[in-house]
Amino acid sequence: MTTLLAFLVTLAILIVIHELGHYLVARWAGVKVLRFSVGFGKVVASRVDRHGTEWSLSAIPLGGYVKMLDEREAPVAEAELGRAFNRQSLGARTAIVAAGPLANFLLAIALFWVLFLSGVPIIKPLLGTPPAGSPAALAGIQAGDTVLAINGEAVESWQDVHWLVLKHAYDDDGLRVDTRTPTGGERDHVVRIDERGEGFEQSPLRALGLVRYLPPLDAVLGELVGDGAASRAGLMPGDRVLAVDGEAIENWEALVERIRAAPGRPLRFEIERAGRPVTATVVPDSVEIEGVGTGRIGAAPHLDPGFLAMIQGEARYGPVESFMRALQRTWDLSIFSLKMLGRMIVGEASIKNLSGPITIADYAGQSAQTGLASFIAFLALVSLSLGVLNLLPVPLLDGGHLLYYFAEFLTGRPVSERIQEIGQKIGIGLLGLLMFFALYNDLQRLLAG
């Protein structure tokens, strides 16, 4: 229910904001709006306001539309010709169409601004021991190093590390990682990227060997997933795992390694619970990671406040700096989205990076359960993604209409209806293909999980 509710809230906010952009600029330009609909298909509820606009809720919630008075769709009374969309100037029509995606970008900026202003929880950019032979190990990175910058861009958190690695993952010269050692010295490293296979795209940090530093944790269970293997076996938060199949467990990392190596295989846990010995049989769920079955029991480690203070912090900025950071974040993510789409088109990146409504719903639920800040960040990301998508020069999308208007600007006359009909068919095909791959990827992730 949390996932479904979060998904519906996400859709409602994004659709209303996008269509509200079209609606407000249309009203400003003097165009009569006949219907403002959240959703497609059959209207299930509606109300007509004093301006004659029908505000509707339709049966299929995956989108929405603003229907304006237009001679191309139906006859228009002579007295209202001046309020028809098709009678407006090229500039007015362009502004009305561009207002939808612009509203999504403005929403993303506003949400990021709120996050930066109110304080963003961060994880300190401390590096753990890189796996032997990994690019990070070969570059000389060591446990305890603090990342200061990547390719010249300052780093303040582990989230920055993740983002900058994604941003520069396709740079030909690799990653230039500046670090500070535990003794205070500063060093420069060049992390080479020799190959960018599917494993790299799914987890570039892991592929490069850039792992987060975690102080040794006791093998004590914290929060449990409601339907996970640990809960099904009767384990409880606070249980201390002493041994698995007779093998002593010294810390949380050893426990994780033991579980990962036994997907679907019964394990005998020896536990200390409130000072008393307890035994339980746990069968780890099998989760496919990079094509390999991996055990998981749905349990997080118990974290005491001292541990959290060691690895966590908070980034908070003033109103002006928060706004500038929000602008920069929106710009960077938008350009990154376009670059990734371009790489998928030319085959440099896998189409498995595409996500559809099932994945969006899943992430909406996860972010909502994590907290308000996570949900706001997720909402901002999806909003700007929607803005970028709608600006693509594909017929049926806002970007397709803007492409027609650009052609009209160059030639001095509107694009013919025949060309628009052909474009519409091409647009339907392209969007259908895009949705097919997105849904296919969604189902693959669902079945693999």
Gap between the Cα atoms of 390 and 100, Å rounded: 8
Between 55 and 312, residue with greater pLDDT: 55
Say yes or no to pLDDT of 144 above 90. no
- Given a contact cutoff of 8 angstroms between Cβ atoms, the answer to whether 14 and 380 are in contact is no
pLDDT of residue 12: 86
Gap between the Cα atoms of 210 and 166, Å rounded: 12
Gap between the Cα atoms of 66 and 428, Å rounded: 19
> What are the angstrom distances between the C-alpha of 412 and each of 89, 402, 416?
12, 15, 12
Between 232 and 170, residue with greater pLDDT: 232
- Residue 19 catalytic? yes
% residues pLDDT > 90 (the chain)? 34
Say yes or no to pLDDT of 199 above 70. no
pLDDT of residue 198: 59
Q: What is the DSSP letter of 292?
A: E
Return mean pLDDT, the chain.
85
What band does 306 get if pLDDT is binned at 50, 70 and 90?
low
Gap between the Cα atoms of 213 and 181, Å rounded: 13
Say yes or no to pLDDT of 242 above 60. yes
Neighbours of 418 (CB within 10 A): 8
Enumerate residues 6+ apart whose C-beta is below 8 A from 281. Answer: 233, 266, 267, 268, 269
**Phi first, then psi: what are they for 30, rounded to 5°?**
85, 15
pLDDT of residue 351: 66
Neighbours of 403 (CB within 10 A): 17
Gap between the Cα atoms of 441 and 446, Å rounded: 9
**Residue type present at position 376:** I
pLDDT of residue 442: 58
- Residue of 19, 78, 257, 290 with catalytic role: 19
Gap between the Cα atoms of 267 and 260, Å rounded: 11
Q: Residue holding tokens 């001095």?
A: 412
Domains within the chain, CATH numbers bracketed: 1-29+88-119+318-449 (no CATH), 135-214 (2.30.42.10), 221-301 (2.30.42.10)
* pTM exceeds 0.85: no
> Token pair of 280, please?
């339980």
Say yes or no to pLDDT of 91 above 60. yes
pLDDT of residue 359: 64
Between 347 and 290, residue with greater pLDDT: 347
Environment class of 9 (CB within 10 Å of its CB; exposed 0-12, middle 13-18, buried 19+): middle
- Given a contact cutoff of 8 angstroms between Cβ atoms, the answer to whether 124 and 146 are in contact is yes
Say yes or no to pLDDT of 11 above 90. no
